[in-house]
């Protein structure tokens, strides 16, 4: 456990915990401060509110429709921030942590910590990048092909051209409201609500570790069902096309939610799922095959998947992200997860 956390041991378990910091799940369950039903209800309410508030300005406040995409997205950004703040306050209240004088503990519940920052950021990105080995091969192949097409005799000139293109690309993304949505607002607010707020409630509600890893992403997935209504009613997609698009998205969000929930519990840091979320949004769906690479991308994707599964537990060992693992609370399940 990080040194910034209070050293208070679990209720009625301080002596045994100090002797064996790797507490087991049943010890954490015995000190659960809230009921499992209340935890599930709170998580469902957070997921519903995260989506419902997006329609609050037009349906409840009766504000006029936004004049542009930028104003529409900025309005949604504000709604996401409000939803996140309400979820954080609700989580802390249910866990009995409403006092601001215990600020390190409050931040610790949410996985907001100052220690082991580079480990929490770098290791998850390196681990996640293995899934995209096929994508890296495909993108590299395209870059090499483009370089050959432009001619090697202009290689020095091409370096300058690519440099200007890169600068223009960065500037364009900095001004792109959708880039802010995909790479800043959505990763931070979604991980804060669906991981940092929900998982501590479920952990302290007495649920087992693997149950939370595999079942909690359901809330995250269901929060994307509003996309079906937008595709079907607003963009006039056919029912089957909207169903297939959203169905694929729901399946992907469930798998992604498994991974980020795993990262949050294993590391105890909110940075880990956030950087993984941003990285996946940047990369998109992994490339499994590409005709141009003559099977190289497929081999790379398979090797990357094997490497990912092999390193999943070693690369997320709690000892790499926490100096101490004693004095744990119910939301510190990594203390008993070697």
- Structural domain contains residue 249: yes
Q: Label residue 180 by pLDDT band (50, 70, 90).
A: very high
Angle at 109 between CA 226 and CA 200, to 5 degrees: 55
- Structural domain contains residue 166: no
Given a cut of 70, whether residue 230 has pLDDT beyond it is: yes
**pLDDT, greater one: 23 or 86:** 86
Report pLDDT digits (tens) over 191-211: 999 999 999 999 999 999 999
Kindly tell me the burial class for residue 232, based on how many C-beta atoms sit within 10 Å of its own C-beta (0-12, 13-18, 19 or more). Answer: middle
Report pLDDT digits (tens) over 10-50: 333 333 333 333 444 444 444 457 899 999 999 999 999 99
Report pLDDT digits (tens) over 88-120: 999 999 998 866 567 777 888 999 988 899 999
Q: Label residue 161 by pLDDT band (50, 70, 90).
A: low
Q: Mean pLDDT, to the nearest integer, of 149-174?
A: 63
- Structural domain contains residue 28: no
What confidence score (pLDDT) does residue 282 get? 92
- Structural domain contains residue 276: yes
What confidence score (pLDDT) does residue 208 get? 92
What confidence score (pLDDT) does residue 171 get? 78
Distance CA 223, CA 141 (A): 37
- Structural domain contains residue 167: no
Given a cut of 90, whether residue 133 has pLDDT beyond it is: yes
Q: Mean pLDDT, to the nearest integer, of 213-228?
A: 83
Q: Read out DSSP for 243-306?
A: HHHHHHHHHHHHHHHHHHHHHHHHH--SHHHHHHHHHHHHH-SPP---GGGTTHHHHHHHHHHH
- Structural domain contains residue 160: no
Report pLDDT digits (tens) over 263-315: 999 999 999 999 999 999 999 989 888 888 788 999 999 999 999 999 999 99
Q: Are 102 and 7 in contact (CB under 8 A)?
A: no
What confidence score (pLDDT) does residue 190 get? 95
Catalytic residues: 190, 224
Q: Closest Cα to residue 178, out of 106, 17, 95, 70?
A: 70
Domain holding 272, by residue range, is 36-145+181-335
Angstrom distances, CA of residue 90 to CA of 37, 182, 191, 242: 15, 26, 16, 34
Specify the number of domains making up the chain: 1
Angle at 50 between CA 47 and CA 52, to 5 degrees: 105
Report pLDDT digits (tens) over 135-160: 999 988 887 777 776 655 455 455 55
Share of the chain above pLDDT 90, in %: 47
- Structural domain contains residue 31: no
Q: pTM above 0.85?
A: no
* Dihedral angle over CA of 118, 130, 216, 218, nearest 10: 140
Share of the chain above pLDDT 70, in %: 82
- Structural domain contains residue 9: no
The token pair at 234 is: 């607003």
Alpha-carbon dihedral sign for residues 169, 174, 177, 182 = positive
């Amino acid at each position: 456990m990080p040194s910034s956390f209070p050293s208070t041991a679990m209720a009625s378990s301080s002596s045994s915990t100090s002797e064996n910091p790797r507490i087991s799940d049943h010890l954490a369950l015995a000190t659960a401060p809230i009921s499992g039903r209340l935890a599930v209800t709170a998580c469902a309410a957070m997921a519903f509110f995260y989506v419902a508030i997006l329609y609050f300005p037009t349906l409840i406040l009766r504000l006029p429709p936004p004049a542009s995409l930028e104003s529409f997205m900025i309005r949604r950004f504000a709604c996401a921030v409000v939803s996140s703040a309400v979820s954080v306050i609700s989580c802390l209240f249910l866990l009995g942590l409403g006092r601001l004088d215990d600020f390190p503990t409050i931040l610790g519940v949410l996985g907001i910590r100052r220690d082991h920052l580079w480990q929490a950021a770098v290791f998850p990105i390196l681990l996640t990048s293995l899934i995209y080995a096929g994508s890296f091969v495909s993108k590299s192949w395209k870059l090499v092909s483009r370089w050959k097409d432009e001619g090697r005799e202009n290689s020095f000139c091409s370096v300058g051209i690519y440099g200007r293109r890169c600068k223009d690309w960065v500037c364009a993304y900095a001004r792109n409201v959708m880039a802010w949505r995909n790479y800043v607002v959505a990763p931070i607010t979604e991980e804060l609500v669906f991981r940092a707020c929900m998982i501590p409630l479920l952990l302290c509600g007495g649920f087992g570790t693997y149950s939370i890893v595999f079942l909690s992403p359901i809330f995250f997935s269901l929060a994307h069902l509003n996309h079906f209504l937008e595709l079907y009613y607003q963009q006039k997609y056919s029912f089957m096309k909207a169903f297939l698009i959203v169905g694929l998205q729901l399946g992907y969000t469930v798998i992604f939610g498994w991974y980020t929930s795993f990262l949050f519990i294993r590391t105890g840091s909110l940075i880990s799922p956030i950087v993984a979320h941003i990285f996946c949004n940047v990369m998109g769906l992994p490339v499994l095959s590409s005709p141009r690479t003559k099977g190289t991308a497929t081999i790379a994707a398979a090797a990357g998947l094997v490497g990912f599964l092999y390193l999943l537990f070693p690369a997320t060992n709690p000892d790499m992200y926490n100096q101490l693992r004693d004095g744990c609370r119910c939301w510190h399940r990594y203390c008993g997860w070697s």
